[in-house]
Amino acid sequence: MKPRIAVVGSVNMDLVFRTPRMPALGETLSGHEFRQIPGGKGANQAVAAARQGADVAFIGRVGDDGFGQYSLRCLANDGIDVSNLSAVVDTATGVAGIIVTDQGDNSIVLAAGANASLSAEDVEAALPAISSAQLLVCQLETPLSTVTRAIQLAKQHGVKVILNPAPVQALSDDLLKQVDYLVVNETEASQLSGIQVSNQESAQRASEQLLQRGVAVVLLTMGEHGVCITEQGGSQFIAAIKVDVVDTTAAGDTFVGAFAVGIAKGLDIRTASMEAQYTAALTVTKLGAQTSIPQRSEVEQFMQSRAAV
């Protein structure tokens, strides 16, 4: 049987500008490419999980505009169950303005749109999709109260929870105690732990602090420096996969989606993380969010080419 994953999260349309560098304050900078690409952290993670072979149910909201209609079609085309993804009347779909430099760095501005209206009642109505999943995946581009309710429902029905707290905000210990896998980058780990993450040693200390707050497992993604995995038994590091970077957009989301599939398939944390690293590495070799997320066959071929299997 396919792994079963429920995702509560955001749907955005990404407006992507390719530029030679980041503009300075007050500067008008000429770019050399523009694309509209489906995105949103929740949708990206759902697509990543679906393309790695999972049955995915998505719970979220879009606007009643062209961006929303197109996003719905794209998710459905990836085989994702969108029966709990509703359109909100007279509301815009979420939008992300993304600047990508020629070096592959990015800067993002979000307008939440319909994502902000996803409610606790919406996730309660989607209980069959959540309770029948092996894993619930959440982020923070939808209201925290909604995410909190979704996690509560998952735990009540024995469903494990992956939380990617981005954009980062203050979280209660009560919420963190319900999280089985917390996936954070260096910035998020620094803000949630109070420990500035700058190297492996500080990554480990920040992760241990988050364990003390109640999280079961912390996965701290460090870009080209790899991933720090911390459990009660200690920490381990997995090196990054070296590739030529085109655009880092959606790399973290791809890691989350692929990791969720690995865990749902019964892989151990290290193996699931390694496969997620390979999947995310392929993502940064292409431009855009969902346009860059690879299929499982591509990941398997890539891993074989690097003698990882």
Q: Round the average pLDDT of the chain to a whole number and report it.
A: 94
Q: Tell me which of 108-117, 190-199, 243-252 is least confident.
A: 243-252
Residue-by-residue DSSP string for 173-223? HHHHTT-SEEEEEHHHHHHHHSS---SHHHHHHHHHHHHHTT-SEEEEE-G
Work out the percent of the chain whose per-residue pLDDT is above 70. 99
Residues in the chain: 309
Strand pairing report for 181-185 and 217-221: parallel
- Highest mean pLDDT range out of 103-112, 126-135, 288-297? 126-135
- Please tell me which residue in 55, 102, 253, 268 is annotated as part of the active site: 253
- In the annotated binding site for substrate, the residues are 12-14, 40-44, 141, 253
Asked if 6 and 89 touch (Cβ cutoff 8 Å), the reply is: no
pTM above 0.85, yes or no: yes
Distance, in Å, from the CA atom of 149 to the CA atom of 165, rounded to the nearest integer, reads: 15
In tens, the pLDDT along 58-72 reads 999 999 999 999 999
Please give the pLDDT value at position 48.
Answer: 97
Task: Tell me, yes or no, if 253 is annotated catalytic.
Answer: yes
- Model confidence at 108, pLDDT cuts 50, 70, 90, reads confident
- The structural domains of the chain, ordered by start, are 4-305 (3.40.1190.20)
In tens, the pLDDT along 255-279 reads 999 999 999 999 999 999 999 999 9
Q: What number is the average pLDDT over the span 10-18?
A: 93
Please give the pLDDT value at position 155.
Answer: 97
In tens, the pLDDT along 282-308 reads 999 887 778 889 999 999 999 999 876
Strand pairing report for 135-138 and 4-8: parallel
- In the annotated binding site, the residues are 12-14, 40-44, 141, 185, 221-226, 247, 249, 252-253, 283, 286, 288, 292
Q: What number is the average pLDDT over the span 33-50?
A: 94
Please give the pLDDT value at position 112.
Answer: 95
In tens, the pLDDT along 211-249 reads 999 999 999 999 888 999 999 989 999 998 999 988 777
Please give the pLDDT value at position 256.
Answer: 97
Tokens of 55: 């049955």
Please give the pLDDT value at position 309.
Answer: 55
Say whether 162 sits in a helix, a strand or coil. strand
What backbone phi and psi angles, to 5 degrees, belong to 5?
Answer: -130, 135
Burial track 134-170 (b if 16+ CB lie within 10 A, e otherwise): bbbbbbbbbbeebbbbbbbbbbeeebbbbbbbbebee
Q: Check the CA dihedral 20-25-28-33 and report its sign.
A: positive
Helix 251-264 and helix 41-51: axis angle, to 10°?
50
Q: Is residue 103 over pLDDT 90?
A: no
Q: Give the C-alpha distances (Å, rounded to integers) separating 71 from 47, 57, 65.
A: 11, 15, 10
- In the annotated binding site for ATP, the residues are 185, 221-226, 252-253
Q: Tell me which of 42-46, 100-104, 191-195, 287-291 is least confident.
A: 287-291
